[in-house]
């Protein structure tokens, strides 16, 4: 399936769940930091925020089955500048109730995961974030 610029426009965001194991304690401060490894999957699972907004669904939907997870927003246009495509892939086997599911497709090597991490905006962040 091609890049879905219509359903996930460049000026919108995608929402990525962050499970606690993707946070690492900073040895100097003791506070947790988000690992760039959270953004290495070549088929990274996200939810299309514009698709959710069109259906009057807020970000809490993305955490409905993961109460202990956190949530970040990544700008879709930024991802595309990093040679990533965003494909709408509704209702995958592990989220049959998620019509907003998308995948960020592309090789994420070198500095790409770090650049993605550094670009994120927290939607729900841990209280002890560095």
Q: Is residue 114 part of a domain?
A: yes
Q: Would residue 65 count as lying in a domain?
A: yes
Inside any domain, residue 4: no
Of 3, 11, 122, give the one whose Cα is nearest residue 76.
11
Residues 105-123: what's their mean pLDDT?
Answer: 97
Place of tokens 């760039």: 36
Question: Structurally, how many domains does the chain consist of?
Answer: 1
Q: Is residue 89 part of a domain?
A: yes
Cα–Cα dist 114/46, whole Å: 17
Q: Is residue 129 in some structural domain? A: no
Q: Is residue 26 part of a domain?
A: yes
For 16-62, the pLDDT digits (tens) are: 999 999 999 988 888 899 999 999 999 999 999 999 999 999 999 99
Query: Chain centroid to CA 83: how far?
Result: 16
Domain with 68, as residue range(s), is 13-124
């Amino acid at each position: 399936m091609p890049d879905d610029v219509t359903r996930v426009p460049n000026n919108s965001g995608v929402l990525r769940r962050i499970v606690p194991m993707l946070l690492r304690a900073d040895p100097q401060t003791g506070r947790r930091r988000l690992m760039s490894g959270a953004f290495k999957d070549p088929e990274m699972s996200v939810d299309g925020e514009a698709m959710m907004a069109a259906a009057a669904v807020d970000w809490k939907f993305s955490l409905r089955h993961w109460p202990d997870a956190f949530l970040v927003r990544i700008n879709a246009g930024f991802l595309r500048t990093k040679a990533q495509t965003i494909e709408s892939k509704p209702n995958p086997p592990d989220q049959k109730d998620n019509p907003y599911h998308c995948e960020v497709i592309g090789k994420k090597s070198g500095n790409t995961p770090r650049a993605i991490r550094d670009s994120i905006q927290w939607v729900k962040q841990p209280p002890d974030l560095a």
